[in-house]
Structure 1
Amino acid sequence: MDSILNQPSNVTSLTIKSIDPCSSINSDPGNDQEKQITVFIEGHDYLKLFKEDLRLSRDSAEIALKKVHLIAHHLGPEFSNEFLIPFLMEIQTSLEVTLLPIMCDCWYLISKFLYGLEILKSIFKGLEYLLIQETGKIRVKATEVAMMIIDDFDNNDVLEVDSRSELVNDVICPMIISFVEQDWFPGPTSACYLIPRVYAYASEKSQTELRRLFPILCESDFITVKLAAGINMKQLIPQVQLDHAISMFWLVLKNMSIDNEDKIRKYAVESCLVFAKQCTSEQNLNFNIPILKSASEDASWIVRQYLAENFMTIYQIFEEAEVKENLFDCHVSLLNDNNDRVKSASIQSFSKWSGILSQELIELYVPVLDTLARKSTKEIRRGVCKSLGQFAMKLNKKEVMSVLRPTLQYLLEDEFVEVRLCVVENIHLICDREEFYGVIGEQLIETINMSIENSVWRNRLVIAERLTSFFSHFGATIFEQNFLNVLFKLLLDDVWKVRNAVLNSLEKICNECGSIWAVKFILSELKSLYLMPRQSTYGSNRNISCAIKIVLLQSLVAVAKSIDVENAIEHIVPLLLDSLTDSIPNIRFVCVNSLANLFVIYKNEKPELFLQAKCALIKLCQDSDIDVKYFSKKALDTYEESFRDSLVM
């Protein structure tokens, strides 16, 4: 195509729009403005040059195909339909297989630049060759292009929506019929994908024919065709009226559910769940529930695992009484499956949606989960903890204590800290302030100590994220005696994510506890850690790293949000001013931002108390570090903005 653009004479300039951005082919993706394209126009030389580029090499052919819109635009609909499209239909039969996906895009490009029903009919005749290729990638691409062209009727004012029905009924449906009648698998496979896509646009007569054809595809001798039919059946079922659906799908689903191929049996379950949404209770009892029951006992773990992972859909489709009577035992069977993958998938899925169950069903599931908690692997026991936590949201305190507490308390003694932590996340369900000083409180503290000493940082993160709930649930006294040391140890953690979680918890705790408690128990220890780490209980006789200093400075701001300005001036500002002279730029940078935050926190409250901080920031405007210098100026602007009213007075 470059040879077309570089002709020295007999040329003209055309203004054309860039290719639609939804296409995977774009002549120049960096520019979506209108472009001046110079093309050769004498006789049919431009088409000859296009043909030459296609024959030169694979690379030149690829470039030419990607620029076919230039030829189509210049020729116009009439000559493109007469010369270009027949040529492309002929040339694609001799192209390398690797170029055929590009050929799919080529047809779509033409459809974007040339409008009219006759053009589209010709394009679909060109796509027909690509839809019967043995290479799956090409067939899928051709199917996508076909549907993109059909969908363009909704987004293009030039195309009449009524023309879509004519295109579907006159071209696509006959093409599908010819595909189904073919003796080799590519055509029928493409038909499986096309039928659900065009069914809604087909006439009543064509829909009747498509309904006749789809069961034939489901019974094909080719496993590829049967798999394609199984994959696409769930898309077709909602489009078919119930009366037709029962006669069309019931026997098909029944045969699929006993097929020798486990993937087809899995697709039968998938489609069965879609079909069940349309059926009445009686129809489900006769048609769909037997298939689901059979799937729970299927010889293949793949089928059982799929059902286990999607059992929530069953509870959403059927009445709870229907599930209890017909499918509850099936779910229990999956939860106790002999295959670990099925068993794990069952409990992991159940732990996410078990909260939707009624109290009656919860009481039926609790003995099942209790058994799993005592006889299963670590991951399954964790799933049991999460499920019990979901149950607790539907029960009152008395019921939680009597029904759930025994199992949760048993899991709190688990040999794996990961299982114990799942219980810790729900400790408020089984342990009140009055009960903290008993066995459960001892087990909780033991679990927390194991976690913060554990090398797995995610275990420490769980505790860091629960600190706020510990304070809220157990109160300030218990927190001070049992959890305050945990807070400071995790605040000094080597992992940033753990420190950051503690920082967030610290701000919420101080906001809840009030100024006096925050100053006495939090602020004093933060100062000690920053200024005299070796003398602090939590400093571990070591020097504090730069990263730890930064989180301590950030903690001061978190505390400042909950204390009065006098305490901030007395305890926080001097430490920040001292750190402004630190040799490490990052420390100075954090201090500058911390002061800016204090200005906002104490907006219009005694600005004279912050004059010393203002003077220090003025000096830092000449700092050697560019970031410190820049943010010092911003902090001064924040000062002026925060205390504007007071300064005016």
Structure 2
Amino acid sequence: MTELQQEEENLFPIAILIDELKNDDVSTRLASFKKLSTIALALEPKRTREEFIPFLTESIYDEDEILCELADQLSKFVPLVGGTEHVSCLLPPLEGLASTEETVVRQKAVDTLRFLAGSFSDKDLEAHFIPMIERLATADWFTSRISACGLYSAVYKRASANTQVELRNQFRQLCADDTPMVRRSAAINLGEMAVCLDLETLRSEFLPVLATIIQKDDQDSVRLLAINACVAFAEALPTEDAQKSLMPLVREAAQDKSWRVRYQLADRLTDLQSAVGPMVTNEFLVDVYQTLLKDAEGEVRAAAAGKLKVFATALSPPDSRESIIMKTLLPIIREMVTEQNMQVKTALAGVIMALAPLLGKEHTTEHLLPMFLIQLKDENPDVRLNIISNLECVNQVMGITQLSQSLLPAIVELAEDVKWRVRLAIIEYMPLLASQLGIQCFNEQLTNLSLNWLVDHVYAVREAAVANLRNLMDKFGIEWATTQIVPKLVQLASDSNYLHRMICLAALRELGEAEICHPDMLPNSLLPTITNLSSDAVPNVRFKVAQVLGKLAPFLDAESMQKSLKPTLEKLGTDSDADVIFYAKEAYESLSQAAR
């Protein structure tokens, strides 16, 4: 075989892959596009540059999924085209992809271009990459201009002084483009561009751009994106400039006619706070925060309320923090606790207790505690959950004794509410309360309550109470369950109400199946009570015994199975009730499986 024939034979599989790039079936084409690196490797750098890249450039009119894959694959092509000195050959297909209509494809192309920019030498950057940005920025079709906005920050610092002037002018023009989608893209990238600029340029050229967007742009979708740029500007500007030039814009944004802009400001306010520092925060942002907390739109108030913990904690100096919270924030918060908007109340409940360590015991008892009690009784379960989830914050300040005297009575009251759904909701919080209160306080206040739910007149509550006991045992351990829970279950096994005896069996099964259940606990403490109920007068109780024994069989040792479990099931297998016999036989099958 000649050398030429050998080469043709080696390239035959590659030829098949290239043909599949043009296959009518989308999935076949996609699979082949995923192997572009393999094809390029086989073709070697010269043919990849001269033949394969032009071929790929002509392929940019395909399905979006395939074009995304193409953009991603091209990011790996630098070594495949011969290294960084030839990286500019990758620009034509990526420029085409950056001009397509599909947003996902354009963004992927921009990401790849930003990645490849680092592979260009300064000379090639000026000769090839930056002219491409200019072509995109001045193209007739707006999609190209959208993509251009994301490329300036990737090259600006490496450009020559004259080129930097041109790049800044182009970017400012894009910020004022006639098409809102282009202005949105410019606003998204304004913050990154600001980081690249020297201080004087930022002040003289780009602060006016930011001001124009916030004050004059007629699209709220553009104005809200400028809020993110405000954070970048705040980080780059000295305190004096932030006070003089940036904070007035932030105040205007807090009064913007669009709630979406105000929402975005509320969402980024703590980032702004971190960027500008305590002096500007105390002078300007506290007032802005008050405005947002009192906003007419519920979504804005909820977003602002959710930032309370971070905002209040970051107030400085600490000796003035308490005064700011008490005088400016607490009056507004007090009103928000009782407002009708559930989203606001839920957000506030998740953070309000974090104020306790900041205000101290006296203010917490006098001002915060009444609000906690209101929220604990709120009809929305998420509000109650958020309060209970953060009891630890109050516990650190008030101590467990005062906490049990003030908040726990409200919890107990809810636990005995006439509405069964309220009782059910409180049961779900018990494990959380257990971890917050500790074993001693829980035993004094809530253990009996947890046991009383076992005899609730609503089945859903009884069922939840059973699951709760297992969760509590997981937290407090075997010894606690043996002394606090098992005696109550033994007593419940002789209750006159057969429903209570059945829930007793369900609870015994839950405890027996628990991972932390001690090997001695099941046969010695739980099993005797279960087997005693096999003689119950009610058939439902007896077949429940059979079901429970079948479930617990895998957890029992051989001696317990022979002496206790098997005889009980044999007796139930000859019961007068057909259902009892059925479940007894089913349990016997469980024994056989356990033996195997």
**Paired residue for 2:354?**
390
In the alignment, structure 1 residue 76 sits paired with structure 2 residue 44: yes
On the 8 A contact 2:505/2:545 being kept in 1, the answer is no
User: What amino acid is aligned across from residue 398 of structure 1 in structure 2?
Assistant: E
Cα deviation for residue 217 of structure 1 reads: 1.4
In the alignment, structure 1 residue 196 sits paired with structure 2 residue 144: no
**Paired residue for 1:339?**
297
**Secondary structure of the corresponding residue to residue 417 of structure 2:** helix
Measured in 2, the distance between the counterparts of 1:203 and 1:615 equals 90
In the alignment, structure 1 residue 177 sits paired with structure 2 residue 130: no
Cα deviation for residue 39 of structure 1 reads: 2.4
Measured in 2, the distance between the counterparts of 1:376 and 1:614 equals 59
Q: Which has the higher helix share?
A: 2
**Paired residue for 2:594?**
628
**Paired residue for 2:432?**
465
On the 8 A contact 2:313/2:358 being kept in 1, the answer is yes
Cα deviation for residue 248 of structure 1 reads: 3.5
User: What amino acid is aligned across from residue 552 of structure 1 in structure 2?
Assistant: L
**Paired residue for 1:122?**
89
Match of 1:454 among 393, 416, 421: 421
**Secondary structure of the corresponding residue to residue 543 of structure 1:** helix
Unpaired segments ≥5 residues, structure 1: 1-8, 15-36, 154-162, 596-610, 631-649
Counterparts of residues 182-581 of structure 1 (less than 5 Å): 182-199=139-156, 202=159, 206-258=163-215, 259-350=217-308, 354-357=312-315, 358-364=321-327, 365-412=329-376, 414=378, 419-420=383-384, 422-424=386-388, 426=391, 433=401, 442-450=409-417, 453-454=420-421, 458-470=425-437, 472=439, 474=441, 476-479=443-446, 484-486=451-453, 500=467, 502-509=469-476, 519-529=482-492, 532=493, 534-535=495-496, 540-541=499-500, 543-544=502-503, 548-554=507-513, 557=516, 571=525
**Secondary structure of the corresponding residue to residue 454 of structure 1:** helix
On the 8 A contact 1:492/1:499 being kept in 2, the answer is no
Instruction: Give TM-score, length-normalised by structure 1.
Output: 0.71
User: CA separation of 1:211/1:298 partners in 2, compared to 1, >3 Å: closer, same or farther?
Assistant: same
On the 8 A contact 2:411/2:426 being kept in 1, the answer is no
CA displacement 1:182-233 (0-9 Å, x = unmatched): 3332322211111223345555654454333322211222222111111122
User: What amino acid is aligned across from residue 370 of structure 1 in structure 2?
Assistant: R
Measured in 2, the distance between the counterparts of 1:398 and 1:71 equals 74
CA displacement 1:245-298 (0-9 Å, x = unmatched): 333321111011021111111111110012101222111101211111111100
CA displacement 1:479-536 (0-9 Å, x = unmatched): 456555358879996798875554333344458xxx5x7644322123445xx26458
Measured in 2, the distance between the counterparts of 1:336 and 1:94 equals 51
On the 8 A contact 2:416/2:423 being kept in 1, the answer is no
User: What amino acid is aligned across from residue 571 of structure 1 in structure 2?
Assistant: S
Measured in 1, the distance between the counterparts of 2:236 and 2:228 equals 14
User: What amino acid is aligned across from residue 176 of structure 1 in structure 2?
Assistant: I
Cα deviation for residue 173 of structure 1 reads: 1.2
Measured in 2, the distance between the counterparts of 1:458 and 1:11 equals 78
User: What amino acid is aligned across from residue 125 of structure 1 in structure 2?
Assistant: P
Match of 2:12 among 23, 28, 40: 40
CA displacement 1:592-623 (0-9 Å, x = unmatched): 4477xxxxxxxxxxxxxxx9569889x9xx98
Deviates more, 1:225-234 or 1:447-456: 447-456
CA displacement 1:135-173 (0-9 Å, x = unmatched): 43332232233234456x5xxxxxxxxx54444333211
Measured in 2, the distance between the counterparts of 1:624 and 1:376 equals 54
User: What amino acid is aligned across from residue 319 of structure 1 in structure 2?
Assistant: G
CA RMSD of aligned residues (A): 4.6
Cα deviation for residue 340 of structure 1 reads: 1.9
Measured in 1, the distance between the counterparts of 2:17 and 2:507 equals 67
Counterparts of residues 136-175 of structure 1 (less than 5 Å): 136-150=103-117, 163-175=120-132
| Number of positions where the alignment pairs a residue of Structure 1 with one of Structure 2 | 554
Match of 1:104 among 65, 71, 86: 71
User: What amino acid is aligned across from residue 485 of structure 1 in structure 2?
Assistant: N
On the 8 A contact 1:452/1:490 being kept in 2, the answer is no
User: CA separation of 1:410/1:40 partners in 2, compared to 1, >3 Å: closer, same or farther?
Assistant: closer
